[in-house]
Amino acid sequence: MQRRIDEQTAAVKVEVPAAAARRKTIIQLVDIDKTYTSGGRVLNIFSSLSYKIVDGSFLSIVGPSGCGKSTLLKLIAGLEPPTAGRVLFNGQAIDGPPKGMIYVFQQYSKSIFPWRTVIENVAFGLSTTRNISRKDRQARCKEYIDLVGLSGYEDYYPAQLSGGMQQRVAIARALICEPKVLLMDEPFSAVDAMTRAILQELLLNIWDRLPITVLFVTHDVEEAVFLSSRILSLGRPPNTIKEDVMVDLAYPRDQIETRGDPDFSSIRQRLFKSIFLQEKADEPAAR
């Protein structure tokens, strides 16, 4: 990681989706059921849900409000158990948070420590790593701080940083653990539109430079199309997969050119229409 990321113009060179599709399965959902019981009422979120996620892919999960996007991410992360079925990670059943997966939460301001500096927050990701010298620890922290474009801010506290910069700290702390899978639950929803665009390009640079699979939950269909090699669109519970869309747009992605591509518009329109019609069908009838 010698070069610094230019957050405005950084180019991304990654495998095209067709090449990624030939890789091995890293995560497999096998006949997943998930139900919640409250006040004697049973809510069935997933029913016999099966799916395979390919190593090295960038998979976004979209769908109407309440369809179970975040629940699915928590099942994969081992933060919640399925009611029935299995989640496999590299062929092994998940029965708790597995080594090799890191979860980046939506509320970045609550996931980093306000009393720690940037470098101290990032170093926390190495807290369970043994047999690493202080010198090597500092070097690794600076490497990942540079990766997310925060060189020069090592000694700043979160309160001295913008929201986008705080989210970069959270991402650096997650990546320093060298995960195989990065799980992200609406990580850019709390920042302004321009910062969001810059963070999207940053994330694609990270996906390019590190050997990771990204699972990304978002309400924003355009964001999903811009980032992803594949998009999973969920329907209303009890859930089956409504659409599984290959995003065959060339990388590197560009905020101007990619969004102006007719194929981008076609995929966005297809997904937006499907989700919008589900949301509209749930509205109370007009009086």
Over the stretch 58-96, which tens digit does the pLDDT of each residue have?
999 999 888 899 999 999 999 999 999 999 999 999 999
Backbone angles phi, psi at 190, to 5 degrees: -95, 5
Give the number of other Cβ atoms within 10 Å of residue 203's Cβ.
22
Q: What is the 3-state secondary structure (H, E, C) of the chain?
A: CCCCCCCCCCCCCCCCHHHHCCCCEEEEEEEEEEEEEECCEEEEEEEEEEEEEECCCEEEEECCCCCCHHHHHHHHHCCCCCCEEEEEECCEECCCCCCCEEEECCCHHHHCCCCCCHHHHHHHCCCCCCCCCHHHHHHHHHHHHHHCCCCCCCCCCHHHCCHHHHHHHHHHHHHCCCCCEEEEECCCCCCCHHHHHHHHHHHHHHHHHCCCEEEEECCCHHHHHHHCCEEEEECCCCECEEEEEECCCCCCCCCCCCCCCHHHHHHHHHHHHHHHHHHHHCCCCCC
Q: Nearest-CA neighbor of 144 among 111, 171, 106?
A: 171
Residue 113: its pLDDT value, please? 92
Candidate from 19-33, 39-53, 73-87, 248-262 with smallest mean pLDDT: 19-33
Mean pLDDT score across all residues of the chain: 86
Residue 130: its pLDDT value, please? 66
Report CA dihedral (220, 226, 230, 231) to the nearest 10 degrees: 10
- pTM of the shown model: 0.86
Q: How is the chain split into domains, by residue range? A: 17-100+179-281, 109-178
Residue 283: its pLDDT value, please? 64
Whole-angstrom CA distances from 108 to 52, 183, 189, 190, 280 are 29, 14, 10, 9, 31
pLDDT digits over 92-144, tens only? 999 999 999 999 887 777 789 999 999 999 998 887 666 777 888 899 999 99
Fold (CATH) for 17-100+179-281:
Rossmann fold (3.40.50)
Give dist(CA 27, CA 91) in Å, integer. Answer: 8
Structure-model confidence comparison of residues 9 and 172, the more confident one: 172
Across 122-136, 177-191, 229-243, the highest mean pLDDT is recorded for 177-191
Give dist(CA 235, CA 243) in Å, integer. Answer: 8
pLDDT digits over 3-33, tens only? 333 333 333 334 444 444 457 999 999 999 9
Structure-model confidence comparison of residues 246 and 280, the more confident one: 246
As a whole number, mean pLDDT of residues 191-216 equals: 93
